[in-house]
Structure 1
Amino acid sequence: MSEATAYDVEAVRADFPILSTRVGDHPLVYLDSANTSQKPQVVIDAVADHYAHHNANVARAMHKLGLESTQAYEGGRERIARFIGANRPEEVVALSNASEALNLCAHTLGSRLGPGDEVVISVMEHHSNLVPWQLVCQRTGATLRWYDITEEGRLDLEKAAREGLINEHTKVVSLALASNVLGTVNPIGLIAEQAHAVGAVMVVDASQAVPQLPVDVSALGADLVAFTGHKMVGPTGIGILWGRYDLLAELPPFLGGGEMIEIVRMDHSTYAEPPHRFEAGTPPIAQMVGLAAAADYLDGIGMAAIAAHERDLADYALEGLSGVAGLRILGPEEAVDRTGTISFSIEGVHPHDAMSIMDSRGVAVRGGHHCARPLHERLGLQSSLRASGYLYTTRGEIDALVDAVEYARDFFTGRMSVGAGSGRRQS
């Protein structure tokens, strides 16, 4: 991608119908995009148009609608391949979500594991990149090991080196490219070199990175990369697994059923070549159409520009939140090698309580452990609040966030009466 060019955020906001929503007397301030992003009208229209004018199953039907649907689906695959820098469309597998993609990685690579083998993850992983590896290690007798984090919220590479975390027993390393809690962007290229040096496969959960950052899978250093559509202004119900074609061709099927087969007999079956080997049953057809439209939309703005906007928001939000008394920011406190996702805790206030009262003021954040309970335990917390903007988020909305955080703190710590507030937000 070329140099970032600033874009008109207000013009972008006009493309998202839901952003005109009001919550009582307040305009909606949507800061839960790490959970799911909102959808521009062009994506909504693409899905609706497919169902209205081209709906049919793919591959099976040779009539007009069947051909149109197949062309749209495979065209979407080609579009996503270009978006992420894949060498060929056949490296792109369409699944229901990133969790299924990561389960596919664990299940198929698990066929190679046994006692004495090791799988390496990190304490900052989303449960979707933790539980599948726990299951495969329990099934095969392999050992699960993990990176710790530093006080700053980055992978503790020095500790890992001292302990020989990646060694001759390591068969798989599976890490998030960006943390869904800390916002930390991990040095995947460096770790992939270490993994490959001992013959291990490098798996990456890029769900929190592909929507916000320019990601070139061919240059990343990974062997398998999973991400999801609904976080990148696309539809729910679709996730993508990219893999080096030679590796995909070696892996066994994950699920059995229609379209993943070559020949079926009563006593045995043979299987299709990638990617269809991993796409049993009716695939997410309309969702692929919508995801292709999402890729067009994001590329129309420019992923470098979106990344620059994220950095600006992160810098502005970190500065604003750092001035709130009693607030603890989790993860890097500078907008360097991090996304715009910021998690924090408020002393004396439960995140669910804070989230609820912030919502009453139109500010939508997430409260909980964000599907990363071990990370919260490592940080000495039961849960936290998380604010995550995106390409449509404004600095004014960050001001509203800071105001709502102060309001929640004062409300629950007895510093104010009901109805009072700092009044900094102009709605």
Structure 2
Amino acid sequence: MDGTTEQKLHLGKHNGLKVFKHLTKSNDQLQTIQLISYKKTNSEDSSKSSSAENRSCMSVDNQPYGCNIRKQETNPQAVELPNIALRPGHSVRTDHSVNYLHDVNLTSSKETKAFRTKQNKVKNNNLLSDRKENVENKQDQNGDKTSKFSTKLKVPNLIRNRTADSNIPQARNTLSNRPGHERTTKGGKALAKTSVTRAERRDVTHRHVLDQPTHHKLELCDFVEQDIIGGDEVRTMGFGPTKITYLDYVASGRPLRSIENFIRQHVMPNYANTHTEVSYYAAQTTKFREEAREIIKESVHATENDAVIFCGSGSTSAFHKVIHAMDLKKSTYMLSPIVLLGPYEHHSNILPWIEIKAKVIHIKQTHEGLINLQHLEQELKDIQDGPKRTIIGSFSAASNVTGILTDTVAISKMMHKYGGLAFFDFACAAPYVEIDMNCVQDGPDAYKDAIFISTHKFLGGPQTPGILIAKKWVFRNQVPHGVGGGTVVFVRRQNHKYYAEPEHREEGGTPAIIESIRAGLVFKLKDTFTSQFIMERETEYFQQALSAWSKHPDLLILGCIKVERLPIFSLLFRNPHTGRLLHHDFVALVLNQLFGLQVRSGCACAALYGLELMGMSEEVAQRYEKFITESNRTADREKNSESNIESYDGLDNIIFKPGFVRLNLPFFASAKCINFIKKAILLMADHGWKLLPLFDFERKTGKWWYREEQTFQPDKSLKDINFTKGFSCMKSSSSQERYKDTNTPIFKRFPGLDYDEIIERATYILNDVSKPNQYDLSDQTLEYKGDADELRWFMLPSEAADIIHQREKEHQNEILSKTNDREEWRKKIDRSCVVPQWSSRTKDR
């Protein structure tokens, strides 16, 4: 055509296809760009594309930027894109926004329609080959198209059409935008809205994950175990170099190299503040963050009526957020709300309600340790007879002490039956169980009004925000919680308007951007495993540990063991000679020093539940409270007389505070790791008390330490970092050097670099401390008289030393009675009284 020029530019290659750019320029100065990829015909030709061209037009996953790569069923030889018209004077804007969280969303210029390309990032070769076969067999005889979800299911009547007379409130249970509910198409049009069961919906949403054989998920477990940052750490503890095993996932998860590498390589280079999408960096960052929100919504089966809000650093912030959202603090002209709490609530689910002057009712537990639904219903009936008040039921989905699971569906139905709101604390349960905000298959009243999630407890979750997921009708506040930038639509001198959408108005200021993106990734990892697989592994490990530990007479497992629960164990260790318990801080320290096990000691921020589990009445608890806080009670009251607050610092008897040792068994751990944990706990239960003379404690603070180290201190410090000449880290003396040229225990020379070595070394040490030693410990019982002796529930180091000496004395008398030759008796005594090297350092004891 006259006045028209054409130019063909080679851009690169994609999966064996050449990618060209056709540039057509006509007389009217309208430029048209068309991208076509031709099938590769010669391997030599494909290798001739220059590296510079590839670098300029290829993304990190070898996808050409600006290309919508679609599979053409009619003509697989070429892939053709829509024409992008550019007006005179406008430059070609190539959108480099490659989304690794969900899919790719490429938008052309304003003169053309937007188009999306779905990209599956599954790296498993078997899954890729399976999908290719499904695509080839995708067409039916009539030419109708069906999405990959329903094509792969091959389950008849999986998605049922919602009947016209359905009694499910549309405002509360609309599923139109939920993944898996409009996936089946006919002629390019979506079918009617559907409702499916929870398991079926999960199948639809994550069919590509569920299709994976079990051995693939087991391989993923092995990968994750090796992918943990610090998972292969070896530290020199009190008894030598020891491999670290982390068992405190109930408190916080561990970071993963793969997630952190992705964030460092793909998120941080494109990082910018949100609240704008004009610049590339800001647009890409905003896109990542909103994608994370969508991943979480999809994981918990949220609808358009549910708001996902990132807040703070855990579920505690989510509790405060929802309290402010309901305007409970400012309801001065209304009666205070009534809050019903479960028997095993975290302090974060108790204290906020108390501080807003709510009437708190604690629901009892059954003999099995479950929430007593009969008591709950009776309390709700009694509330109905009184004045009208806001009724809230706030329950833990799982106990962070025992792992006992809650029937959230039954509680939701009951709360809604009596006009209440159903809140659930998923801080402990979320990393393992399936979360369903709506539970449509269980009835119209089975939905949850709000849930609280601590994402940092997930695998890979450190440095993630807390998450509040709530129905939008819960947000009654006119002023957002934490007003600031990003919450307002318009501000003028005399007035301002806030956004109506909770997800905008409740995230004021610069949010935790990278943390939110990380949260989406850890949810994606959980959904890759699937809750079903995780719970199967959790149940298996729980039963293995239970069969090994429940038979030990001096190892007490708190909570009922006959109900469904997560593999969370809260343990008490009892000494058979004195009948007293081993102090929980001492047990945790020995498990750390001897076995490298990272566990938690104390009350796990669930003191009320702990008192119930340990059988401590309110009267006994008051005695302990008075004894622990008595020393500074008067001074502290005078100090805080103006504020009417009782707070206690500088306590003298904190050692008397009851507690337990908590650990959990990771679902991704290997069988060898689980066997090691079982053996370590049994050794501690059998012989742990024998190590007491090697440790000391401070009555005032309750801290324990290994005598050879004097005080237990981490050996890394931020003070070692220097930015004077760029960046340098002056490493402090290593833990190996701390024991150099000192009279240290001989068994420190035995490394524990793997599980077998640790058990072998521990057996040697525990056998060694059973021999007579020069402990030189004064009688510590003399320091505990009166109430101190009556309230002392833990065993003292001097008591353990006396028992060891007494047992050795009895052993010597037994030898003497059986031996008449005095010289032979001396030789036997000498052989049985080999004093370990560490016993010579007694002058500072």
Same fold (TM over 0.5): yes
Judge conservation of contact 1:20–1:28 (CA < 8 Å) in 2.
yes
Q: Which residue among 336, 353, 361 is the counterpart of 1:133?
A: 353
In structure 2, the residue matched to 1:14 is 226
In structure 2, the residue matched to 1:245 is 472
Does 2:582 align with 1:362? no
In structure 1, the residue matched to 2:453 is 227
In structure 2, the residue matched to 1:413 is 689
Aligned-CA RMSD value: 2.8
C-alpha distance in 2 between matches for 1:299 and 1:311? 18
C-alpha distance in 2 between matches for 1:99 and 1:16? 26
CA spacing shift, 1:286–1:89, aligned 2, 3 Å = farther
C-alpha distance in 2 between matches for 1:88 and 1:402? 46
Amino acid at match of 1:203: F
C-alpha distance in 1 between matches for 2:317 and 2:382? 26
Does 2:320 align with 1:103? yes
Per-residue CA deviation, residues 110-129 of structure 1 (Å, 9 max, x unaligned), is: 15584364111123111111
Amino acid at match of 1:217: M
In structure 1, the residue matched to 2:613 is 379
C-alpha distance in 2 between matches for 1:411 and 1:264? 69
Does 2:491 align with 1:258? no
**Of 77-86 and 52-61, the range deviating more from structure 2:** 52-61
Cα deviation, residue 198, structure 1: 1.9
C-alpha distance in 2 between matches for 1:18 and 1:165? 53
Q: Which residue among 49, 53, 64 is the counterpart of 2:280?
A: 64
Cα deviation, residue 10, structure 1: 2.4
CA spacing shift, 1:44–1:166, aligned 2, 3 Å = farther
C-alpha distance in 2 between matches for 1:325 and 1:38? 34
C-alpha distance in 1 between matches for 2:478 and 2:568? 34
C-alpha distance in 2 between matches for 1:265 and 1:150? 58
Amino acid at match of 1:282: T
Amino acid at match of 2:491: V
In structure 2, the residue matched to 1:171 is 391
- Equivalent residue of 1:94, what SS? strand
Per-residue CA deviation, residues 85-129 of structure 1 (Å, 9 max, x unaligned), is: 111496211112211001112233315584364111123111111
Q: Which residue among 268, 275, 290 is the counterpart of 2:518?
A: 290
In structure 2, the residue matched to 1:313 is 541
**Of 279-288 and 159-168, the range deviating more from structure 2:** 159-168
Alignment of 1:16-165 (within 5 A): 16-24=228-236, 25-49=241-265, 52-60=268-276, 62-88=278-304, 91-96=307-312, 97-109=314-326, 110=328, 111=330, 114-115=334-335, 117-137=337-357, 142-162=358-378, 164=380
C-alpha distance in 1 between matches for 2:420 and 2:479? 18
C-alpha distance in 1 between matches for 2:339 and 2:229? 44
CA spacing shift, 1:90–1:249, aligned 2, 3 Å = farther
C-alpha distance in 2 between matches for 1:50 and 1:269? 37
C-alpha distance in 2 between matches for 1:218 and 1:397? 38
CA spacing shift, 1:279–1:410, aligned 2, 3 Å = same
- Equivalent residue of 1:10, what SS? helix
Judge conservation of contact 1:328–1:344 (CA < 8 Å) in 2.
yes
Does 2:432 align with 1:205? no
Judge conservation of contact 2:339–2:360 (CA < 8 Å) in 1.
yes
Per-residue CA deviation, residues 262-291 of structure 1 (Å, 9 max, x unaligned), is: 233455433211211111111111011112
Per-residue CA deviation, residues 380-413 of structure 1 (Å, 9 max, x unaligned), is: 3621111112232233333323333233334453
Cα deviation, residue 324, structure 1: 2.5
Judge conservation of contact 1:202–1:223 (CA < 8 Å) in 2.
yes
C-alpha distance in 1 between matches for 2:569 and 2:411? 24
- Equivalent residue of 2:356, what SS? helix
Amino acid at match of 1:372: A
Cα deviation, residue 81, structure 1: 1.0
CA spacing shift, 1:403–1:36, aligned 2, 3 Å = same
Amino acid at match of 2:482: L
CA spacing shift, 1:221–1:61, aligned 2, 3 Å = closer
- Equivalent residue of 2:570, what SS? strand
Cα deviation, residue 165, structure 1: 7.2
Amino acid at match of 1:38: R
C-alpha distance in 2 between matches for 1:136 and 1:366? 31
Per-residue CA deviation, residues 6-53 of structure 1 (Å, 9 max, x unaligned), is: 632323312223221224443322111111111222221233235531
Cα deviation, residue 225, structure 1: 0.8
C-alpha distance in 2 between matches for 1:17 and 1:332? 34
C-alpha distance in 2 between matches for 1:105 and 1:405? 41
Judge conservation of contact 1:147–1:165 (CA < 8 Å) in 2.
no
Cα deviation, residue 259, structure 1: 1.1
Does 2:426 align with 1:426? no
C-alpha distance in 1 between matches for 2:382 and 2:493? 44
C-alpha distance in 2 between matches for 1:369 and 1:165? 33
Cα deviation, residue 417, structure 1: 8.8
Judge conservation of contact 1:260–1:279 (CA < 8 Å) in 2.
yes
CA spacing shift, 1:390–1:271, aligned 2, 3 Å = farther
In structure 2, the residue matched to 1:276 is 504
Higher Cα radius of gyration: 2
C-alpha distance in 1 between matches for 2:691 and 2:479? 60
Amino acid at match of 2:681: V
In structure 1, the residue matched to 2:727 is none
Cα deviation, residue 154, structure 1: 1.7
Amino acid at match of 2:756: Q
**Of 208-217 and 82-91, the range deviating more from structure 2:** 82-91
C-alpha distance in 2 between matches for 1:328 and 1:170? 41
In structure 1, the residue matched to 2:434 is 214
Please list every run of 5 or more consecutive structure 2 residues that lacks an aligned counterpart in the other structure.
Answer: 1-201, 204-209, 440-445, 575-580, 617-657, 695-746, 758-845
Please list every run of 5 or more consecutive structure 1 residues that lacks an aligned counterpart in the other structure.
Answer: none
Judge conservation of contact 1:363–1:400 (CA < 8 Å) in 2.
no
Per-residue CA deviation, residues 306-342 of structure 1 (Å, 9 max, x unaligned), is: 12111111111222221222122112313x4211222
In structure 1, the residue matched to 2:406 is 186
C-alpha distance in 2 between matches for 1:331 and 1:261? 49
Length-normalised TM-score, structure 1: 0.89
In structure 1, the residue matched to 2:551 is 323
CA spacing shift, 1:309–1:119, aligned 2, 3 Å = same
Amino acid at match of 2:612: R
CA spacing shift, 1:359–1:13, aligned 2, 3 Å = same
Judge conservation of contact 1:366–1:386 (CA < 8 Å) in 2.
yes
- Equivalent residue of 2:438, what SS? helix
Per-residue CA deviation, residues 32-87 of structure 1 (Å, 9 max, x unaligned), is: 11111112222212332355311111014632211111111111111111121111
